[in-house]
Structure 1
Amino acid sequence: MQDEVVNYFLELISIDSESGDERAIIDRLKADLKALGVKVEEDDAYVLTGGNAGNLYAQIPGNLNKKPILFCAHSDTVKPGKGIKPIVKDGIIYSDGTTILGSDDKSGIAELITALKEIIESGEKLPPIEVLITVSEEVGLLGAKHFDKSRLESAWGYALDTHQVEELVIGAPAQNSIQITFLGKESHAGVEPEKGINAIRVAAEAITAMPLGRIDHETTSNIGLINGGVATNIVPNKVEVKGEARSHNHSKLEQLTSDIRHCVEQAVQHFQYDFGGASFDWKVNLEYEAFHIQESEPVVQIAIDAMHRIGLTPKITIGGGGSDANIINASGLPMIICGTGMNKVHTLNEEIEIEQLLKGKEFLKALIRRYAEL
């Protein structure tokens, strides 16, 4: 007989919830939390995210006189995430290879809600707990950005959104999103190409010169999307390029962003003629700020102690991606990221070990019990 956390996880991943289309999963989670006797509210973040469901915020009052602790996970998945058909084999859960599995982040949700259920039903002393299930995390942390963080009363929090259960991520970078529109001059490619300015070529020269990939141990950049051109017989006059720059160091992030812009300016200058010249439009947006929490801080030490109690060996790491923890930390509430067992996420080869789901549930119960002792 499978543990409840496994069965619950399999149920959750069978509910389609690609970013922006999370109505069904939010309705299910709202009902499941209410069934635990928990006060649950849904906000109107969908008005600003463009989705069809809001964030869920739940409060468990507990019976100990102390500040709450916060647990956060997100309900959306990346694409392709519709019609997920799980395969359980040799202690591992896979998708059938036509979709992602959805363990990012339904493993975190399954572990959290089953842990809460078991610890509430045990009748033991509970600290106050806040639960935040965000929407549209995978498309820019939109749910967390539009949630009213002033409602949070917790001393600190845990985002359940990284890989192996033993991992504790205590830092993550800031990210600038970059959008560049290269403008050239349209002409007939076969009749008078010399009267055109090929925006694709301008963009190519700029991208070739850009510092991309791993810049140093705390800084990266990438160009991920290019769109332009109408037909092969038309010299294209417009190309849109989207990329990003990330760093744990704000000064490095600003310098890298400036260096990328300089490459654009230099490339555009190469395409200036008597009949006209190339130009560009530049947009940069700080998607989220970096955070770093010292290992000595209580939010980290409590998690370490909880792991030791159930025989796990914590691995303290610094992350390279953004998560809801970036947004929560920026609001002034310390939050680290805990692993849930997810593996090969955002791919058709995504998988999760059943043992990790079990460990994740037990870790959260141990974490709540350890906090109750403070």
Structure 2
Amino acid sequence: KRGTSNIGVINSGAATNVVAERATIRAEARGHDPAFRNKIVRAIEKAFAKAAQSVRSSSGRKGTVSITKQLDYEAFRIPQSDLSVVTAHKALESIGYEPYYDVSNGGLDANWMAANGIPTVTLGCGQHDIHTTNEWLDLTAYKAACRVALMLATS
């Protein structure tokens, strides 16, 4: 079982010399197994609840936590025998690439389409170290991905 979590947004206070009354974070958990993804969410909730209870204000009050959960998209997997996968495979081969199959934990338009009964293949486009400070793009692979996308859209 694989999954990831991330705290991507942290907001608090209005000045550097004032103790903030509250903080707001936006976090996410991803994984293809809903039970495992929920386990990640519970671990995050437990950690924040424990942290809030471990500190007290100058008046002796403990911290509190309020968590709102929202499922933005569900994970999906398309069988290699599906027509969309076979067609994409052939398109990649036709321009000299050897396709391979992998699992992405990305949140894409394809997630919505798959959830609504439209099998959608996700193709790489030359991105590396995605969503990190080291992210970069292989322009040769990007241009090849554009050719494949055009082939798929017009065939």
Select the structure that is richer in strand: 1
Distance 1:283 1:361, change over 3 A: closer
Q: CA separation in 2, counterparts of 1:235 and 1:364?
A: 52
Instruction: Using the TM superposition, give the Cα deviation of residue 227 of structure 1 relative to its aligned residue in structure 2, in angstroms.
Output: 2.1
Q: 1:343-362, aligned counterparts within 5 Å?
A: 350-354=136-140, 356-357=142-143, 359-362=144-147
Partner Cα distance (1:318, 1:229) in 2:
39
**Could you give the per-residue CA deviations for residues 116-139 of structure 1, whole angstroms, max 9, x where no partner exists?**
xxxxxxxxxxxxxxxxxxxxxxxx
1:31-42 map, 5 Å: none
Alpha-carbon offset, residue 362 of structure 1: 4.2
Q: Which residue of 1 aligns with 2:47?
A: 263
Partner Cα separation in structure 1 for residue 150 and residue 35 of structure 2 = 40
Aligned length: 153
* Residue among 54, 60, 64 paired with 1:279: 64
Deviation of the 1:289 alpha carbon: 0.8
TM-score, normalisation: structure 2: 0.79
**Structure 2 residue runs without a partner (length 5+):** none
Q: Which fold has the larger relative contact order, with Cα–Cα distance below 8 Å and residues 6 or more apart in sequence?
A: 1
The DSSP-based 3-state class of the residue aligned with 2:51 is helix
> Superposed, which structure 2 residues align to 1:65-214 within 5 Å?
none
Deviation of residue 281 (structure 1)?
A: 1.7
Which is higher, the Rg of structure 1 or of structure 2?
1
Q: Per-residue CA shift, 1:137-185, capped at 9, x if unaligned?
A: xxxxxxxxxxxxxxxxxxxxxxxxxxxxxxxxxxxxxxxxxxxxxxxxx
Q: 1:365 to 1:233 in 2, by over 3 A?
A: closer
Provide the identity percentage: 29
Structure 1: gaps of 5 or more residues: 1-216
**Aligned-partner SS, 1:296:** coil
C-alpha separation between the residues in 2 aligned to 1:307 and 1:232? Answer: 53
Q: 5 Å matches for 1:308-347? A: 308-342=93-127
Length-normalised TM-score, structure 1: 0.36
Letter in 2 for 1:304: H
CA contact (8 A) 2:75 2:105 kept: no
In structure 2, the residue matched to 1:137 is none
Q: How large is the RMSD of aligned CA atoms in angstroms?
A: 2.9
Letter in 2 for 1:237: E
- 1:301 deviates by 1.2
Contact 2:125 2:141 in 1 (8 A): no
Query: Which residue in the other structure is 2:83 paired with?
Result: 298
Contact 1:345–1:351 (8 Å) recurs in 2: no
3-state DSSP of counterpart to 1:242: strand
Give the AA of the match of 1:338: L
Output the amino acid matched with 1:305.
K
